[in-house]
Amino acid sequence: DTAVSQTPKYLVTQMGNDKSIKCEQNLGHDTMYWYKQDSKKFLKIMFSYNNKELIINETVPNRFSPKSPDKAHLNLHINSLELGDSAVYFCASSLRGGHLEQFFGPGTRLTVL
Amino acid sequence: DQQVKQNSPSLSVQEGRISILNCDYTNSMFDYFLWYKKYPAEGPTFLISISSIKDKNEDGRFTVFLNKSAKHLSLHIVPSQPGDSAVYFCAANLQGAQKLVFGQGTRLTINP
């Protein structure tokens, strides 16, 4: 009965490959987010979707494309992976208008070789 | 340009004593400040928040203090317990943007 789940937990891949990370929340929340925790440990927002509609798109390379098939899912697809994409990616969700209290998934550690 | 910074990567405190975690910010447009707690292999979980119009908010053993003139906030945990050992992230809400800006975290270790 995990609230926010991500798959896979670990992802090791070669440069140039395309990969996806899936996120699902069963909290009935309207808003979902993707964060990247970089090598300096800062947690930085990448995207935010509200009821399948993109509302925040930070300065992220267009190799990163979020897809929200429904409000319970927000997947992250990454094309042409680069070494600098290695990081931990966290998915989160919140109630509409309740973005102060976000519920995070366990993270996906992506390693690009 | 990191707008929220936690300059202590780690902190070690004896069980029963007070833990003080610090956070500095640069943007005057932040209107809420929050602390999140993270255990290994889990995502961060919301702990406590404070509005920019207040200078203190208390919830059980956790108190957050805000000093707007110094652009500084701190989280006090007293008494510290072994289960408090975790990484603590400071975060700030950018007014009108509906997004949180996080610091880099401080790893707190409570020693028995």
Per-residue pLDDT of A4-54, as tens digits, reads: 999 999 999 999 999 999 999 999 999 999 999 988 888 999 999 888 788
pLDDT at A57: 80
8 Å CB contact of A100 and B93? yes
**Ranges in chain B, pLDDT < 70:** 1
**Are A103 and B105 an interchain contact pair (Cβ–Cβ within 8 Å)?**
no
Which tokens in the block code for residue B95? 């007014």
The per-residue pLDDT for B95 is: 84
Facing B34 at nearest CB: one of A35, A92, A100: A100
The pLDDT > 70 percentage for chain A reads: 98
Q: CB under 8 Å to A39, separation ≥6 — which residues?
A: A86, A87
The confidence score (pLDDT) of residue B53 equals 95
Looking from the CA of B58 toward its CB, the CA atoms found within 13 Å total 3
Higher pLDDT, residue A61 or B79: B79
Q: Mean pLDDT score of chain A, rounded to an integer? A: 92
Token pair, residue B23, equals 């956070």
Q: What is the pLDDT of residue A54?
A: 85
CA separation (Å) from B111 to B8, B14, B19, B88, B107? 18, 5, 11, 16, 13
Q: Which pLDDT does position B98 carry in this prediction? A: 78
